[in-house]
Amino acid sequence: MKIIVTGGAGFIGGNFVHYMVNQYPEDMIINLDLLTYAGNLETLKPVENAPNYKFVKGDIADREFIFKLFEEEKPDVVINFAAESHVDRSITDPESFVRTNVMGTTTLLDACRKYGIKRYHQVSTDEVYGDLPLDRPDLFFTEETPLHTSSPYSSSKASADLFVLAYHRTYGLPVTVSRCSNNYGPYHFPEKLIPLIISRALNDEELPVYGKGDNVRDWLYVTDHCKAIDLVVRKGRVGEVYNIGGHNERTNLEVVKTILKALGKPESLIKFVTDRPGHDRRYAIDPTKMETELGWKPEYTFDTGIVKTIEWYLNNKEWWEHIISGEYTKYFENMYGERL
């Protein structure tokens, strides 16, 4: 099979490319990524010379480019990770989220319609369901929970999901959608909570915690998400949505304190700062459908996954230090400059 993975130079897409290239040597993995600030080819170093891997730089919202690529490659499967993914950035610049997350998705869907596809998979998020109250731990997001978004980011993701499902109903396109909770693990860009806290704590810098730090997120180790997506693509029913999560809820303050303890750093580094506007209170996924229908189970709990993650950041300082210094943006030029 020829599989186009979009956004494969980002956090989850990069981990997914590693997994697929190693797991399925008979498949060809084409990583299509625009290399925005969040795209980092240093993440792909472990697979960049694999015979079943290829990188293509391009924009999923560029219709002419996408149609030409589909014409040339005739992919069997498209898995769309590419997105503007940071909620705080969506509050200051909503338009780029509409362009990539909505128009990029419809461009890919149109190319799939034109050139034919065995499966289009949309990597979505639990944020499309909005949030849950902090005092109702009995409530969880199921696939039937109504969409009720809070931020420009989640609104753009919900909009994309609706287009994907509409293309199934209207045109019979074979699609699936997965909605996952917060991921963490290797290659996570240090603007997001966990890598931000680890990298700043290691440099003895202040750690910004929004509001009172009592918002709750449901954390999933990234490779558990990657395996779940692979399962949905291979065995999931077309036209269906699958929620992915492992019942690992923590308040933000608990997460920060766990990291400080593991690193032997003082809690005095914590600095409570002005809250994020519209800040979602609690996310919590009910993964029953993934478990009963597809037999998926996560390998890691938060306690085991966070130890593995901290170890990775300690052993791969160069990766995140290059991001903080801006060095990583030179990698494309160094690696591909003379070849393109």
Residues that are catalytic = 126-127, 153
Residues between 42 and 61 with contacts to ligand NAD, criterion CB under 6 A = 59-61
Would you state the structure tokens that stand for residue 153, as one six-digit string?
Answer: 């980011």
Q: Which of 3, 20, 69, 85 binds ligand NAD (CB under 6 A)?
A: 85
**34 makes contact with ligand NAD (CB under 6 A):** yes
Q: Which of residues 7 and 236 has its CB atom nearest to ligand DAU in the complex?
A: 7
Would you state the structure tokens that stand for residue 329, as one six-digit string?
Answer: 């943006």
Q: Residue 331: name its binding partner from ligand DAU, ligand NAD, none (Cβ under 5 to 8 Å by kind).
A: none
For the beta carbon of residue 270, count every other beta carbon within 10 angstroms.
19
Residues between 254 and 293 with contacts to ligand NAD, criterion CB under 6 A = none
Give Cα 203 distance to the centre of its chain. Answer: 26
Q: Which of 127, 131, 161, 230 binds ligand DAU (CB under 6 A)?
A: 127
CA triple 190-195-199, angle to 5 deg: 85
Q: Residue 100: name its binding partner from ligand NAD, ligand DAU, none (Cβ under 5 to 8 Å by kind).
A: ligand NAD
The size of the chain, in residues, is: 340
Q: Residue 17: name its binding partner from ligand DAU, ligand NAD, none (Cβ under 5 to 8 Å by kind).
A: none
Q: Considering the complex, what minimum distance in angstroms separates the CB of residue 190 from ligand NAD?
A: 11
Q: CB–CB of 1/76 below 8 Å?
A: yes
Q: What whole-number distance in Å separates Cα of residue 153 and Cα of residue 129?
A: 12
Q: Considering the complex, what minimum distance in angstroms separates the CB of residue 66 from ligand DAU?
A: 23
Give Cα 204 distance to the centre of its chain. Answer: 28
Would you state the structure tokens that stand for residue 91, as one six-digit string?
Answer: 């509050």
Three-state DSSP at 339 gives: coil
CA dihedral for 125, 129, 130, 134, sign (positive or negative):
negative
Q: Residue 152: name its binding partner from ligand NAD, ligand DAU, none (Cβ under 5 to 8 Å by kind).
A: none
**201 makes contact with ligand DAU (CB under 6 A):** no
Q: Which of residues 272 and 336 has its CB atom nearest to ligand DAU in the complex?
A: 272
Q: Which of 181, 223, 248, 309 binds ligand DAU (CB under 6 A)?
A: 181
Residue 33 φ then ψ, to 5°:
-150, 140
Q: What whole-number distance in Å separates Cα of residue 137 and Cα of residue 200?
A: 31
Going by C-alpha positions, the residue among 240, 128, 100 that lies closest to residue 174 is 240
Q: Which helix (H) or strand (E) holds 312?
A: helix 302-315
Q: Residue 208: name its binding partner from ligand DAU, ligand NAD, none (Cβ under 5 to 8 Å by kind).
A: ligand DAU
Going by C-alpha positions, the residue among 161, 179, 150 that lies closest to residue 245 is 179
**188 makes contact with ligand DAU (CB under 6 A):** no
For the beta carbon of residue 20, count every other beta carbon within 10 angstroms.
25
Three-state DSSP at 141 gives: strand
**66 makes contact with ligand NAD (CB under 6 A):** no
Q: Please report where in the chains the tokens 């923590």 appear, as a residue.
A: 250
Q: Residue 38: name its binding partner from ligand NAD, ligand DAU, none (Cβ under 5 to 8 Å by kind).
A: ligand NAD
**157 makes contact with ligand NAD (CB under 6 A):** yes
Task: Give me the residues that bind ligand DAU (CB under 6 A), please.
Answer: 85-87, 125-127, 181-182, 192-193, 196, 208-210, 215, 217, 252, 276, 283
Task: Give me the residues that bind ligand NAD (CB under 6 A), please.
Answer: 6-7, 9-13, 33-36, 38-39, 59-61, 81-85, 100, 104, 123, 125, 157, 180, 182-183, 189
